[in-house]
Structure 1
Amino acid sequence: MPGSGEARFDRPGADGGPAVVAVAVPPGLRTEFFGETADAAAGEPEVGVLTERLRGLGRIVVVDDPRDLPALRAAFARADVVVSSWGMPRLTGELLAAAPRVGLLAHTGAAIAPYVGADAFARGVRVTQAGQGMARSVAEVALAFTLALLHRTHRYDHALRGGREWAAASVAPPRHEVFGARIGVVGASRTGRAYIEVVRALGARVQVADPTLTAPEAARIGAELVPLDRLLSTSRIVALHAPSLPETRHLIGARELALLADGAGLVNTARSWLVDEDALLAALRTGRIDAALDVYDAEPLPLGHGFRALPNVLLTPHQAAGTVECRRRQGDIVVDEVERYLTGRSLDHEVGPEALIRVG
């Protein structure tokens, strides 16, 4: 896939010519999603399997910088399909008007609200996303966080790196195994279900709070359905996997954090939207609970943020979905969806206007 050009193919587009697929994905992410790598000696891209499949669908027009509005307008003017990634402005208003032929937006991530507007749906643009590809990697990071909090490895690491003496660095709250531990899961989302699967495989007893779930449905995925307050007060680890909806804004606030038992841990690989960050920081400063976080209100996380100095907090920079396997699954989903669309088949990961209420 050329870095700033196009290739010609035979599948029909909206005007009867070859379909045009505009790929608004930066070069680095194109490598991760589609397997395209640069050959430094020849100065040409090395085509991966998914890139070869994408090329076979029609004429590919690449926009290296998805924030470049003039480049987007030029590419979208003749596109039948848009492949979007993080950083692209919303396909709405003037940008939508500049894309008269676009009938599908295939997003490489999960949440589509930042990348498409209601007017696109009203015009009949179909939208698909690759969130399913992210579930396993995020669930595994949540599992890694869970094990770290149970065994207090983050506290030991902080103490040793901070220069504390061996004996002092060896002091931590009681530690526990995941086998037999009661783990609470807030939200039976795709990622929530993947997390339930991996912690159950290690012998955890899982309870779940989700207003969309019935008790029999919870039992089928190996969890007990309980009210949120009970989950918070009885779980050794609470893992957040709920969607970012208006009603889930600060679902976990000061009152809810106070329900956590002494020594409990909070895992958030979902969205900071779900937690009152000020209340969480205040609770963590007491040392009563621990937390492992991959998401924050402000990203990048400011250098002076209180989370950075606390020994009872494990931090990662919003990278839970960044595995090689995850990115390739996302690319595979996108290519499959584009192919289905251009060959008139049903889409497996299509979302409607209701997805716009999800925040970020």
Structure 2
Amino acid sequence: MMEKKLAGKVQTVLGLIDGDELGLTTPHEHLLLDLTVRFKLMEESVTARTMAERPMTPDMAGWIRFHLFENRDNLLLDDEELAIEEIMRFKLAGGKSVVDVTNWGIGQDPHAMTRIARSTGLNIIMGTGYYTMDSGCAEVLTRKSEDEICQEIINDIMAGTDGICAGIIGEIGADSWPLHEIEIKSLRASVRAQRATGAGLTIHPGRLDESPLQIIDIIKKAGADMSRVVIEHIDRTAYSFETMVEIAKAGCCLEFDCFSMEGYYPTRYGVFDIPNDAQRVNYIIRLIELGYLNQVLIATDTAMKSRLTVYGGPGYAHIPENVIPWMRAKGMSEEVIRAITEENPKRILTFVAPS
């Protein structure tokens, strides 16, 4: 199995391609996803109970913005035809490649990814490994050894499901605090799989400054290739610019993937601010000024019905349609924008020789 030669290539669900074929890439999205395990009512009012089980409709956009996890249907992306229609907006806006990081625990569907790839003509790169322990992965992560988890990830990259193979490890769930031993085990197994395959590794941290720093300490000790590690959700994780710089100093990529989520985050995760898109771009400009251009990624992490255009959301095309023009208006050059949206994803997605 390990004779498969991946170094220098990008692995899509339809096979290997050269990195130069990726073009404009969104490195963190969900085309299909089951996040209903995260459903939770935050209050017991008549309105809350009524809205909880109501099918999503566009007129709910105002309410759902402040109650993202309190409508069960909002947390389920299960319409393949709608996924095709929505992601085509990204393609029509100039997009070429999509990283779907839906992995084990939240509905990874390799066959569906191939159908979407064929229907749209987009390069789709699929994630692998285990999501967070509170997404239904706790039992299996407790039961399985680090060796077993590592080998599962390797198999999904090298052999796949009916030959449909993952092209990146992640998004690996590590958002417990302090990190639970089973998520530490999952992280260590993922690092070992990274070394064995040469794949990129993308990690879902907790919602506080200390979380990514603890993750970095663990994966460094496990031997991760830090230049090919992505710390996701920077814009809801690193509450200070100083923390962003600490992450960058470790050599990781910083992924600002909450673009279009402006100024509010569900209180079920505590009370904290989230930047708007203008502030995200300002943070990125400051990181670039410090020399970290090659470590910045951007995406929308579209993971709910309410983020789709049919339900009144910004959709998958928000980056090329709205964010890139704003970057230009803020003085970013085409070379800088291309580095963030093409070259940086290409480096993470292109396999290197196993170590």
Determine if the TM-score, normalized by the shorter chain, exceeds 0.5.
Answer: no
Say which structure, 1 or 2, has more relative contact order (CA 8 Å, 6+ apart). 2
Tell me the TM-score normalized by structure 2: 0.33
Pair member with larger Rg: 1
For normalisation by structure 1, the TM-score amounts to 0.32
